[in-house]
Structure 1
Amino acid sequence: MSLIVRVLAAIALVLGSVTLVAPVAQAQGPGSPIPAADPFYSWDGSLDAAPGTVLRSRPMVFSTPTLTTPITGEQVLYRTTDQQGNGAVTAAAVLRPLIPGPPKIVSYHMAYDALGSQCDPSYTLSGGSTNRIAGAEQAVIAGYLAAGYTVVAPDYEGEEMEWTIGRQSGYAALDGVRATQEFLQLPSNTPVGLIGYSGGSVPTQWGAEVAPYYAPELNIVGAAAGGLPVDLAHNLPYISGSDNWSGVIPALIVAYQRAYGLDTASFLSEYGAELIQEVANQCIAEFAADYPGLTDADMVRAPYNSLLDVPEVIEAINDNIMGSTGTPSTPMFLAVGHSDPIGDTVMITADVEGLAHEYCGRGVDVQYSQYNGLTHGDAFAPFEAQGLQFLSERFAGLPTRSNCATIGVGNSLAPMPVP
C-alpha cells in the first residue's frame, strides 16, 4: 500500500464521524497562558523588517492537553501585513516532519474561526485549549507530518482576531511560509502547498490570489480550499434564522468592527449590541449554534431591516469578495458540499462554483468538486482526503485534473451596490 493511500485511510478513519460545529468544552493546556496573556505574542519593536521576518521563536512540542507526541517544532512570531497594508505581527507553529527527505512545505490553515486567542493554532497545536474541530485538524496535520511534509500552521487572523478578513489572512499565510523558510534556512524555491477548509479556506484562497504580487518568490505548487465563504452578502441571508449557524452573524460583526472600525452603535439594536459582547472572546464551537432562530433583522434597529442595508457593512463585505483582488498563478482545487437547494447549510454552492468558473475564465488551472448530499460538516472529511491527493500530485509534478470545461457559471461575484 502506498504512503498516500495509508495516510488517506488514516484520515478517513479519524475524520469519518467529525461534526464541525458541535460545541464542546475547552480544555486548558498545561502550564501556559493563552496568547492574549502571553508576552511571547506581543511585539513593541520596529516593524521595518521585510514581511515574513522572524521576530522571535521558542521550541514547542506537537501535543494536546492530554497527549504529548515525539513531533517537535517552534512557535515563531513574525512580521506580516494587515488589511490596510500596514505592518503587523502574528505567530505560527512550524512543525518538522517525522520522515526526513527533500524539503516541502504545507501551509495548513486551521478553521479556528475565533474571536478569542485561546483557539490560535500556534497555541492549540502545542497543547493549549482545544475542541473537536481543532482535534480533527490536528489529526490531519499529523498525517502530513508522517508523510514527510514540513507543516506551518499560522495564526492568520492576527493579534486582533479579525476572522474572515481576506487579504490580511492571505498575507499572514504567505508570510508564515517565508518565516518557515527563514527559520529552517530553506531556499525560497522550496515547493509549497496551501490547504484549508471552511475558515481555513480564507487564507488559502486569498493567499493564492495575492501571492503573484505579494510573494512572487514563493514556489506555490497548488492550493486546495474547501467550504469557501466567497461573498458574505450571500451567506448572511442564507444563515439568518438557522438553528445551527445563526450565531455566526454577531461574530462577523465583531470581526468587521475590529478590521474596519464599524460604528456599530449607529445600526445595531439593543439586542444586537448585547450579542456582540457575548461572543466577543469566543470561538465558533461556542457561538455558532447558541442562538437558534436569530435573524439578520434582529441585529439592527430602525431605519435598517438588515445588516445589508448598512452602507459601511456593505463596503466591508465588498472588500472581501473572493476573486476581487487578483488571479492565482498556481493550480487550484475548490470544493463545497451541497445538501439543500442553496448550499451546504452555511456556504453557497453556486458561489464556489462561480469562483471556480471565474478563475477558469482567467486561465487558472482549476479542479472543482461538489459533494452532493453533504452538509458543511460532512464535506470536511472528503475534502481533506481529496485535498491531500491534489497536493501530493502537485508536489510530485503529475498532470493536473482540471475540469474547467464542465464547471457551471454559478453565481455572479459582482459587489453589492452600496445604499
Structure 2
Amino acid sequence: MRTGTSRLLAAAVTAALAVGATAVTAGPAAAAGRSAAPSAAASDPFYSYDGSTPLASFAPGAVLGTRTLPYHVLGLPTPVTAVQLLYRTTDAQGRPAANVTTVLRSLSGDGGRAVSYQSFYDSLDPADSPSRAVAGDLSIGGLIPNVEAVFLVPLLAQGYSVVLPDTEGQNADFAAGPEYGTNTLDSIRAATASPATGLGSGTRFGLMGYSGGAIATAWAAALAPGYAPEVNARLVGYTEGGLLVDPAHNLRYVDGSLVWSGITPTAVAGVSRSFGIDLTPYLNDYGRSIQRQLEHASIVDVLGHYPGLTWKAMAKPEYADPNSVGDFVTAVNRINLGSAPTPTVPGQIAQGVGGVLEGTFGNPAGIGPGDGVMVAGDVRALARQYCATGTSPVGYRQYDVLSHFGVPVVWAPQALGWLNDRFAGRPAPSDCGRIPAGNSLAPEQPVPHS
C-alpha cells in the first residue's frame, strides 16, 4: 500500500482521539443538556415514512425516498455527491422499520465495486447519525462520523463507492447487534435498487467497520446468508476490529474502569430500548439519575466522565449481580455473537490487548484482559468458532501493546489492502490453527436476586 494512504488513515485516528479529548472536557452536563433538548436535526421530514401503503407491505430494502446532496464534512459541502435513501428494514424485535443510508458515489464512476462502511458513531441520539453529518448537520456526537471522513477518502480515491448506513436505526438503538446487521444488509439492498446510486445487482461489496462499526459489520456478515442471501452472494468479505462479542463479559471487564465505565449505562439503555424492556426498576436513585442524564448521549458524552462507575453502584442492593435481572440476561444473550450464525465469506479480525493504557485494569476470571473496552479472549473465541464451524478463511491479528484507540492506526491500512486483494480475486489468508484459545461464549445464566 502507498505510504501516503497509510499516513492518511493514521491521521483519521489522530482526529478521532481529538474528538475523545473534546468529550472529556465537555463533562457530564453535555449529556444532560442533550437529554433535555435533542438536536433539531431529528425533525428532518426526510426520515419519516408517511405513505398510505403500510410499511410492512414493502420488502426489506425497498426504497421509500431519495435525495441527492453534496457530501458535507464539518458542515462544509465537498464536490463528492451523496445519495441518501429512506428504505424499509427490520428492527431488533422483527418489526418493519424505516431507516436512512448514504451512498457516496465513486470518484471514478465505477459502480462495480463498493464498500459498506459501518460508522462507530455509538450514540443514543438519532441526530448523531452519519446521514445527518453527511447532510451538513452538526452535533457533538456527530463529530465522529465527520472525522471518519478521513477513513472514507482512500476508498473513494481508489474507485470504490461507499455505502454508509445509519446502523443504529432511527431510534438510535446503541449496541443492539442484530438490528445493526439488518440495517446494514437492507442498506445494501436499497443502494443497489436505486438508479440514483450508480450501483446495481452486479455490484460486489466488502464490509468494513471498527468498534461500534465492527458490531454492524460482524452481525451483517453473520446474518447475510439467512436474512439477505442475494447480498451474501455479492460479498467479497468483511474486515473488522475492536469487536464486541459477549456484552455481559464487556460490562464486567469495564466495571470500575477510568475511561470506559460510562459505556455501561449507555449500552444498557440502548439494548433496553431496542428490545422494549425496562431496567429502571432494578436501579437505585443514582442509577436512574445516570440513565436520565444519558438518555440521548453519545460516546463522546461518557468517555472519562464516570471514572470508577460500577453496575453495583447503580443497582439496588438485591440486584448487585446483573445476572439476577432476568431481562438483562435475556437481552445480552440475544446480542451475543457467539450464538449467531457463522459467516460464509472470508473475514479479517483485529483486536488489541493494551487496555491498561486506557485505564481498564480489570482481569476478571474467565474473561481476562482486552483493549480497554473489548475483551480479547472473546474475540479469539469467536474467530476460532468461525474456523471450526465455517469453510471460509478467517484472518486474526492480536496487538498485545495497543489499546482500543491505538489499533486502528495499524488495522485501517491493512483493512484497505485486504479488501483490495479480495476484490482482485486473490485467495484470502487464514490464521485458523494458529489462533490462541479464548473464553467460553456460552449464554449467560440467571441467578436468584438476594
**TM-score, normalised on structure 1?**
0.93
Q: Deviations over 1:235-262 (max 9, x none)?
A: 1111111110111111112112211222
Tell me the secondary structure at the aligned position of residue 406 of structure 1: coil
Structure 2 distance, partners of 1:78, 1:388, is 28
Structure 2 distance, partners of 1:23, 1:241, is 22
Give 1:155's match in structure 2, choosing from 166, 171, 175.
Answer: 166
| Structure 2: unaligned runs, 5 residues or longer | 31-38, 356-367
Structure 2 distance, partners of 1:39, 1:306, is 43
Structure 1 distance, partners of 2:44, 2:109, is 32
**Kept in 2: contact 1:64–1:128 (CA 8 A):** no
Q: Deviations over 1:304-345 (max 9, x none)?
A: 113232111011000001131211111011111111560101
**Kept in 1: contact 2:102–2:131 (CA 8 A):** yes
Determine if the alignment matches structure 1 residue 285 to structure 2 residue 279: no
Structure 2 distance, partners of 1:35, 1:207, is 27
2:156 aligned partner, one-letter code = L
Structure 2 distance, partners of 1:297, 1:17, is 34
2:381 aligned partner, one-letter code = G
Determine if the alignment matches structure 1 residue 361 to structure 2 residue 388: yes
Tell me the secondary structure at the aligned position of residue 210 of structure 1: helix
Question: Residues 14, 185 of structure 1: CA spacing in aligned structure 2 closer, same or farther, 3 A cutoff?
Answer: closer
**Kept in 2: contact 1:109–1:154 (CA 8 A):** yes
In structure 1, the partner of 2:21 is: 22
**Kept in 2: contact 1:299–1:306 (CA 8 A):** no
**Kept in 2: contact 1:23–1:286 (CA 8 A):** no
**Kept in 2: contact 1:35–1:120 (CA 8 A):** no
In structure 2, the partner of 1:408 is: 436
**Kept in 2: contact 1:103–1:191 (CA 8 A):** yes
In structure 2, the partner of 1:30 is: none
**Kept in 1: contact 2:272–2:331 (CA 8 A):** no
Q: Give the C-alpha shift of residue 5 in structure 1.
A: 5.2
2:276 aligned partner, one-letter code = G
In structure 1, the partner of 2:129 is: 120
**Kept in 1: contact 2:111–2:203 (CA 8 A):** no
Q: Give the C-alpha shift of residue 65 in structure 1.
A: 3.1
In structure 2, the partner of 1:12 is: 10
**TM-score, normalised on structure 2?**
0.87
Structure 1 distance, partners of 2:180, 2:16, is 25
Question: Residues 162, 102 of structure 1: CA spacing in aligned structure 2 closer, same or farther, 3 A cutoff?
Answer: closer
Kindly tell me the number of residue pairs found equivalent between the two proteins. Answer: 411
Give 1:206's match in structure 2, choosing from 214, 219, 222.
Answer: 219
Give 1:38's match in structure 2, choosing from 36, 44, 47.
Answer: 44
Question: Residues 281, 405 of structure 1: CA spacing in aligned structure 2 closer, same or farther, 3 A cutoff?
Answer: same
Q: Deviations over 1:109-164 (max 9, x none)?
A: 00010100221010112322255533331111122111111111111111111111
* Identical aligned residues as a percent: 38
Give 1:260's match in structure 2, choosing from 262, 272, 275.
Answer: 275
Determine if the alignment matches structure 1 residue 180 to structure 2 residue 191: yes
**Range with greater deviation from structure 2 (131-140 or 306-315):** 131-140
**Range with greater deviation from structure 2 (136-145 or 275-284):** 136-145
Tell me the secondary structure at the aligned position of residue 5 of structure 2: helix
In structure 1, the partner of 2:309 is: 294
**Kept in 2: contact 1:34–1:117 (CA 8 A):** no
Give 1:330's match in structure 2, choosing from 322, 333, 345.
Answer: 345
2:347 aligned partner, one-letter code = M
Determine if the alignment matches structure 1 residue 379 to structure 2 residue 407: yes
Q: Which runs of 4+ in 1 moved over 4 A?
A: none
Structure 2 distance, partners of 1:349, 1:235, is 10
Determine if the alignment matches structure 1 residue 234 to structure 2 residue 257: no
Structure 1 distance, partners of 2:209, 2:418, is 13
More helix by share: 2
**Range with greater deviation from structure 2 (314-323 or 380-389):** 380-389
**Range with greater deviation from structure 2 (90-99 or 335-344):** 335-344
Show the 5 A alignment for 1:96-107: 96-107=105-116
